[in-house]
Amino acid sequence: MSNITLGSLSYISCEELAEQLHASPLAPSFPSNLAIIDVRDSDHVGGHIRGSTWVPSNELDYKTPELVRNLKDKDVVVFHCALSQQRGPSAALRYLREKERLDPGSKSVTKEGEEIKEGGNKEDGGEESQKVMVLRGGFTQWQEKYGPDKTLTEAWQKDIWEFGY
């Protein structure tokens, strides 16, 4: 049984994430150490965060092990849905638990920098901790602030979001 709970999750604000995207030495390209996973379903229509990967929540059961393997070299993995109240946090929790199951010695950082699993860091030959976070307010809050910004949002359609979620 895993000791990772919803209370263990860290959150990142839209402003903090946008700052990371703009501050990247690769800007306007997506930072190579960051992954954003969008777990919205049919509500994915109308735009998405530039460079994000769409994995509908109904596909997470079989795609989570693949995500863990594909994202192992990322320093930060951010999950979100429309509001980041259910699907986003659940996906982050599922990801952390699967990561723990596949590699019991791995480390992940949760809320307030607490490590979930013990392990080494790069100085003592181990792996660096991966931060797994949830986007506070989800895409709804993101698009309110950054929808029209083509450097941060792709395929945004104002008429879909005009009256909110």
State the catalytic residue, choosing from 4, 81, 82, 132: 81
* Alpha-carbon gap, residue 119 to 127, rounded angstroms: 8
CA 75 to chain CA centroid, Å, is 11
* Alpha-carbon gap, residue 102 to 130, rounded angstroms: 15
Whether residue 81 lies in the annotated active site: yes
The residues annotated as belonging to the active site are: 81
